[in-house]
Amino acid sequence: MFKRLVIALLVIVVVGVVGLAVLAYRPALDPITPPARTSFAAELVAKGEMLAGAGYCATCHTAPGGQRYAGGYAMTTGFGTIWSTNITPDPQTGIGRWSEAAFRRALREGVARDGAHLFPVFPYQHFNQIDDADIKALYAYFMTREPAVAPARKPDMAFPLNVRALQAGWKLLYFRDGAYGPVSGNSAQWNRGAYLAEGLAHCSACHSPRNALGAEQLDAHRYTGAVVDGWYAPPLDRSNPAPVRWSEDELYAYLRHGATPLHGVAAGAMAEVVHGLGKLPDEDLRAIAVYFAGRAGAVDDAATAAALARALTASAQAAQPAGDAGARLFASACASCHYNSAPQPLTERPELGLNSAVTAADPSTLIQVILHGVGVDAGLPGVMMPGFAHSLGDEEVASLAAWLRRTRSDQPPWPDLPRTVAALRAAPTRSAATAQR
Ligand code: HEC
Ligand code: HEC
Ligand code: HEC
């Protein structure tokens, strides 16, 4: 009896292991002779360039100071560091010998040409929404780039997390297969926006919180905001903290120009997103705005928005710099640029009482902006804000943030501010890496 039980258990274990192995197994796809550059039509390559921008391929596949798309950009995760790979057409160290089918499989299924599973920091769980025509254009673009010799670097992760076959288990748990299909009952414009936002532009990769295994949380948690690389990407659903509700026009302006008078600027990683989307035509950005206007319950009521902006600007102006250390710091370090005496704020002088950085659940973005400023390449083109990392200490930054929170929002105080400031100051800045590109 006992013997039979052991045998039954053994059978179950063996079947399980074999099952997982079968599931994990992906064949290598045959290498090809690198195609001639001239075999790709110029219009297709141009379309691919536009799409590569909107997928931020360069952001992740270019190391600071390195050749574009040669990989080697370090991505720190809770499980260790993973370096992006070389996606130039070098035959040995890049994707020069990848067929279009191998490229498509990588984007759709997270599997390399040799059959190895890729880690989900590569956002294939969004890229699987990209349609065949767009993948064809991306392939044409990458196969016509300047080849770079740059071998892949092994992930720095503890065993067994570094075992690629185990990624099959992760996929089983979290990967939802399937290309984007239009959602009926919504306009063609809305569907175009959803296609771009959920696929190539993977907005939710930063704007949705992740679970303990690094997978984006779904359903009610989608787009409820998350901290990425030390910045806070605010919720893009109805819980968005902007004091004046977003409208479709404001969303469009923010994505197109990186700044709006009623909501402030796109800094940090969001500045790279705005640059990336830059080559998309207006109607595509309008479509993305329409899609998020729906998600965020945006209201197109310019008169109400203007009245609210007026009221918030007036109450920010009335916040007296008496007594409080944060108030005095604001008066000396910030007010010269951030004080709006007119009833309507100017885009170049963001009114902090209107900014999600001050009203959000998490202070990271406000602290980053105070420490590192906003570069000329972020927010409004050619306009910058200086950083205060060298002139203000942790306690000073913390008291300034606390005072802004108290006088310009109706939200509870942020806990542990000095500690958060110290941690963000110590972390490597993403903007330093971007500046090199
Ligand atoms: C958020 C960062 C990120 C973005 C954005 C990104 N990638 Fe990647 N990509 C990675 C990382 C990291 C890897 C390596 C994963 C691994 O080693 O398992 C990778 C791997 C790949 C691979 C497999 C290459 C190989 O040698 O195995 C291809 C192909 C690829 N990316 C293409 C693209 C394209 C095309 C885009 C833009 C549409 C893009 N990636 C955008 C991070 C990114
Ligand atoms: C790589 C991470 C990342 C991706 C991808 C990303 N965002 Fe963001 N987003 C951020 C961060 C960080 C902020 C905060 C920037 C700031 O306040 O300066 C932000 C801010 C925003 C805001 C302003 C919200 C507010 O209330 O102030 C909007 C709107 C927005 N993103 C929309 C989008 C859309 C639409 C996409 C996809 C097309 C997208 N984001 C993709 C990181 C990202
Ligand atoms: C020399 C002028 C100047 C000073 C001084 C200055 N700022 Fe700014 N600030 C700007 C400009 C300009 C922008 C918009 C940046 C852009 O478009 O590149 C900005 C943007 C911001 C934003 C919006 C960021 C976002 O993501 O929307 C915040 C928050 C902010 N500043 C806070 C402060 C605080 C707090 C101080 C004082 C410690 C300060 N600023 C001092 C000019 C300044």
Ligand 2 nearest atom to the CA of residue 360, by list position? 26
pLDDT of residue 18: 62
CA of 136 to the centre of ligand 2 (A): 28
Per the CB < 8 A criterion, the answer to whether 31 and 112 are in contact is no
Interatomic CA distance for residues 330 and 320, integer angstroms = 10
Pocket test for ligand 3, best of 275, 374, 388, 405 (most atoms within 8 A of CB): 374
Ligand 1 atom having least distance to the Cα of 95: 26
Mean of the pLDDT values across residues 16-38? 84
**pLDDT of 436:** 31
pLDDT for 30-47, tens place per residue?
999 999 999 999 999 999
Separation of 225 CA from ligand 2 center, angstroms? 9
Model pTM score: 0.94
d(CA 398, CA 414): 10
List domains and CATH numbers for the chain.
16-174 (no CATH), 220-434 (1.10.760.10)
Mutation test of ligand 2: which of 270, 277, 364, 431 has the most ligand atoms closer than 8 Å to its C-beta?
Answer: 270
- Please say whether the dihedral angle defined by the alpha carbons of residues 368, 369, 374 and 379, taken in this order, is positive or negative: positive
pLDDT tens-digit map of 256-315 = 999 998 999 999 999 999 999 999 999 999 999 999 999 999 988 989 999 999 999 888
The rounded distance, in Å, linking the Cα atoms of 101 and 113 is 9
Q: Is there an atom of ligand 2 within 6 Å of 231 CB?
A: yes
Contacts of 423 (CB under 8 A, 6+ apart): none
* Nearest alpha-carbon partner for 285 in 295, 294, 274, 296: 274
pLDDT digits (tens, 9 = 90+) for 43-66: 999 999 999 999 999 999 999 999
Strands 231-233 and 74-77 turn out to be: unpaired
In this structure, the residue with its CA closest to atom 33 of ligand 2 is 203
Interval between CA 203 and ligand 2 midpoint (Å): 7
Rounded Cα gap, residues 235 and 233, in angstroms: 7
**Whether residue 1 has pLDDT greater than 60:** no
Where residue 329 falls among pLDDT bands split at 50, 70, 90? very high
Name the nearest CA neighbour of 411 among 332, 347, 355, 346.
355
pLDDT reported for residue 321: 63
Cβ neighbours of residue 156 closer than 8 Å, sequence gap 6 or more: 80, 81, 82
Exposed/middle/buried for residue 201 (C-beta within 10 Å: 0-12, 13-18, 19+): buried
What digits encode the pLDDT tens for the residues 203-259? 999 999 999 989 999 899 999 999 999 999 999 999 999 999 999 999 999 999 999
Q: Which atom of ligand 3 is nearest to the CA of 258?
A: 17
106 CB near ligand 1 (under 6 Å): yes
Instruction: Using a pLDDT cut of 90, give the percent of the chain over it.
Output: 76
pLDDT at 433 over 70: no
